[in-house]
Amino acid sequence: MKKLNILYAKVENFFFRQDNKTEFLSFFRVAIGAVILLQFIAVLPDFDTLFSSSSIIPQDIMSVFTPDWLITFPKMVSFLQSYGIEESTTIVITKVSFITLCIFIITGFYSRISAFLLLILQIALLKGSSFFAYGADFFTSMSLFYLILFPADQHFSLRNFMFSRTAGDINIMPVKRLFQIHISMAYFFSGLDKALGFNWWNGESIWKAIHLPYSNRDLNIDFSWLTEHSYILSFIGWSTIVIEMCYPFFIWYKPTQKTWLFLTVSMHIGIALVLNLYYFSAIMIVWNITNFYFEQYAKKEVSSSKKKISVEYIPKQVSS
C-alpha cells in the first residue's frame, strides 16, 4: 500500500505539480505564429490555383474525399455566394483574416481566440484542397490546438501591455505533459513504421528522398558519389530510425536529453536543407525546443532550490 501511495504521488507530481516557468509558452506562441504566417505568405501567389473554384484540380474531385458535414473553403464560398458575396471578395477576406489572426497570435492579442478562429479557417482550406496537403499542414493544425489549450498570451503579450493584466495562477503542467507525450509518441511510431520495412535499413528510402523532384533544388548538391558509398545511405537510414524510436527514452532521461535534442534538431535541419521541407522542419524544431529545451533550465532551478533549502536547514538543526 505504501508503494502504491508513493507511485501515485510521483504520477500526480509528474502531471500536476505547479510550474511557474512560462518562457516556453511565449516562445511557442511567437515561433508557431511566425512559421504559419510565413507559410501562408509563401502560398499567397498561388492561392487561387490551389483553393479557388478555378484550381488546377476541380473542386468536385477533391470533395469526393471530404465528409458532407465538414466545413471547407469551397462550401464557405458557396454559402456566401447565396447572399450575393462574390468569390473574389471571399478570397480577399480570407487572406486578410488569416494574416491578421497570425499577427494576433504572434503579438499575444487574445491568442486563444485567434488560434481557435485560425484553426477553423486553416482546416477549411486544408480539407477543401486535401490533394495539396502534407505533413506541415497537419502539424499546423495540432500547433493551433495546443495554442488554444495553453494560456500563451499571459506573458510577453500585447494583451497584457494594453490592458495591464496580471497573469493568473493557472497550472499549465497537465497540458505541457500532454504535449511532451504527444511528440514522444509521434517520433516513436514514426521510427517504428520505418523499422518495419527494409527500405530504411538498406538506405533505399534515403536515396529516393534526395532524388525527389522537389528535393535538393536550392543547394543542388551532387549526390552521385553516394552510388559508390551506399553504406553512408544505410547509416543515415539507421540513424533516423534510432533517433526517432529511441526519442521517448533518451529525451526524458536527463543525462541524454540535451544530446537527443541536438540530434533531433540536426535531423530536421538536414531535412530542411536537402529535401526543402522548410516549414515542416521548422514546426518540428519549434515543437522540440518548446517541449524539452526549456525543461533543462527548469530542472536546474528546481535542483538549486532544493540545495538551498537543505543548506539553510542543516545549521538550524546544529544550533538547536
Q: What is the pTM (predicted TM-score) of this model?
A: 0.88
**Would residue 6 count as lying in a domain?**
no
Residues 37 and 156 in one domain: yes
Which range scores top for mean pLDDT: 65-69, 169-173, 262-266? Answer: 262-266
Percentage above 90 pLDDT, the chain: 62
Nearest of 294, 307, 1 to residue 155 by alpha carbon? 294
For residue 259, give the nearest of 296, 298, 284, 290 by alpha carbon.
296
Burial class (CB in 10 A: 0-12, 13-18, 19+), 226: middle
Residues 111, 200: one domain?
no
Count of domains observed in the chain: 2
- End-to-end distance of the chain based on CA atoms, in angstroms? 36
> What torsion, rounded to 10 degrees, do the Cα atoms 222, 223, 229, 235 define?
130
The boundaries of the domain holding residue 91 are: 19-170
- What does the block give as the cell for 232? 553512408
Residue that wins the pLDDT comparison between 49 and 304:
49
282 and 189 inside one domain: yes
Angle CA 128–132–138, to nearest 5: 80
Residue 119 lies in a domain: yes
> Is residue 123 domain-shared with residue 194, that is, in the same domain?
no
pLDDT at residue 264, rounded to an integer: 97
274: buried, middle or exposed (CB in 10 Å: 19+, 13-18, 0-12)? middle
| CA atoms of 18 and 11, how far apart (whole Å) | 13
Per-residue pLDDT of 162-201, as tens digits, reads 877 665 677 889 999 999 999 999 999 999 999 998 999 9
Overall average pLDDT of the 134-140 stretch: 91
Choosing from 132, 149, 170, the residue where a domain stops is: 170
The radius of gyration of the chain from alpha carbons, rounded to an integer in Å, stands at 24
pLDDT in tens, 270-303: 999 999 999 999 999 999 999 999 876 555 554 4
Say whether both 148 and 244 belong to one domain.
no
